[in-house]
Amino acid sequence: MIPLLLALAFALACEQPPPPEPTPAPAPLPEASPTLALPQDVGTVHVRAVGDFLITLRLKKTARGKANGDNHGGFDWIWAPVAPMLRDADLTFANLETPVAPDHHRGIVWEVFNAPADLIPSMAHAGVDVVSFANNHTFDQGPAGILETLQRLDDAGIASAGSGPTCADAAAPARLEVNGVRVAVLAATDLMNLDERDGADAPCTFVAGPVCTTRCGPDRDAIHYAIDEARLKAAIEAARDDADAVVMSFHWGDEYRTQPLPVYTDLAPKLIEWGVDVVLGHHPHVLQPITQHTADDGRQGLIVYSMGNFVSDMGSKFDPKTSAVRRGNTRDGVIIDFNLIKTRLPGGRTVTRVADVSAIPLWTTNNRLTRRAGEPDEVQVISHEQSDDPGLMAVRRAQVARVIGAAWLSPAGAEEPPGSEAPR
């Protein structure tokens, strides 16, 4: 019996499962692959843009009255309160609405402009980096005046777009590289007061198309140019080549109208589709709406139909006590504030987006109605926070919000300038 039990126990012992094998060590993780990397921001450009530097008689008188030998003929005083905000950007844009051609001066009458040589160095000192010189006043001092203005801009270190020694130069963008982001700035106009282009190899301004032979624009006596979409698209595509972002300045519209005409609300989204990231409009001398358009390729473009005047003598008879609110529209301006952010995607391709858009409201002070006999003219651009009339600024802020869209306004007080260079 005992041998039988021993044999049974031996058999049962042999049927037990073997001990588990040791757990293998985890395999090493594969090295990170570039194709699995997350998008990475590789460059940001903080941009600020303003509208028209419209230098008429009272601004020149103001500058002469404030000149002290060290402030560019007094022009520094005119924009001293807001110059720190322009300098604070990586890239600042403006529309130069006058020739600066004292060496080729051929007269000034009503809407024929010319500005003193001190203007451009003062703009550079204020922080302006690039200007549009494609507007209805480019030929006010003739073809030689265009070349002189361009030379003075170059001497001051300010890039320009929209006019050039030849028509090819005029249609080409200004190219700037800032913080590793390549920005192309185009400028075009669809109206001029004078057109003295003399062939492709002569001084030229980039116009939107051929001279219009039908009813093309409401301005009373300007020369209007029909919109040639193929011409504009070709210029944009050429600008897009070797650029991370394209900004297009367009001199268009009807003066003093706070809404864009249908031709421009039709055109502006097409500019975005063709490759523009930011459209900066001017000519109406008042503000117009800000909007966005998402292109078929996913880019979200910014459209500012009109930035209004940066500084001018317009609206000098506006009296807030008796005038309708709209009478002050030509004295409202904005600084358009945004970032261009360049991002490297998985695989190495880069894209650039427009982000953090806001509008900082400005106001041009003018003592025409209040100055006593013998007192000097004083025209100066300020931010709302710098005004000594908060009641008036509340009214103007509400008006700006109605025109451009309240969502775009920077919070009140959020853009207190770091200081001004001269007392008001």
H helices within 209-261, ranges in order?
229-240
Token pair for 32: 């990170």
CA of 248: how far to CAs of 182, 185, 277, 306, in Å? Answer: 14, 6, 8, 13
Q: What are phi and psi of 308, to 5 degrees?
A: 70, -170
Instruction: Determine how many CB atoms are found less than 10 A away from the CB of residue 34.
Output: 9
Mean pLDDT of all residues in 287-313: 98
Residue of 263 and 5 predicted with greater confidence? 263
pLDDT tens across 322-338, in order? 999 999 999 999 999 99
Vertex 280 angle, CA 287 and 225, to 5°: 95
Gap between the Cα atoms of 42 and 402, Å rounded: 37
Show Cβ contacts of residue 159 under 8 Å, excluding neighbours closer than 6 positions. 129, 130, 131, 153, 174, 176, 185
CB 337 within 8 A of CB 39: no
Measured between alpha carbons, how far is 180 from 175 in angstroms, rounded to an integer? 13
Give the whole-angstrom CA distance, residue 360 versus residue 412: 9
Q: What's the chain's average pLDDT?
A: 91
In tens, the pLDDT along 144-178 reads 999 999 999 999 999 999 999 999 999 999 999 99
Give the mean pLDDT of 240-261: 97
Closest by CA position to 359, among listed 384, 329, 336: 336
Range with the lowest mean pLDDT among 154-163, 207-216, 238-247?
Answer: 207-216
| pLDDT of 35 higher than 80 | no
pLDDT at 29: 41
Question: What is the distance between the alpha carbons of residues 210 and 82, in angstroms, rounded to a whole number?
Answer: 39
When pLDDT is cut at 50, 70 and 90, the band that residue 413 belongs to is: low
For 311-349, b/e burial (b = at least 16 CB within 10 A) is: bbbbbbebeeeeeeeeebbbbbbbbbbbbbbbbbeeeee
The tens digit of pLDDT for each residue in 343-380 reads 999 999 999 999 999 999 999 999 999 999 989 999 99
**In 10 A of CB 14, how many CB atoms?**
7
Helices (H), 322-419: 390-404
Q: In this predicted model, which residue has the larger pLDDT, 110 or 17?
A: 110
pTM beyond cutoff 0.85: yes
Instruction: With beta carbons less than 8 A apart as the criterion, state whether 340 and 183 touch.
Output: yes
Question: pLDDT tens-digit profile of 370-411?
Answer: 999 989 999 999 999 999 999 999 999 999 999 999 999 998
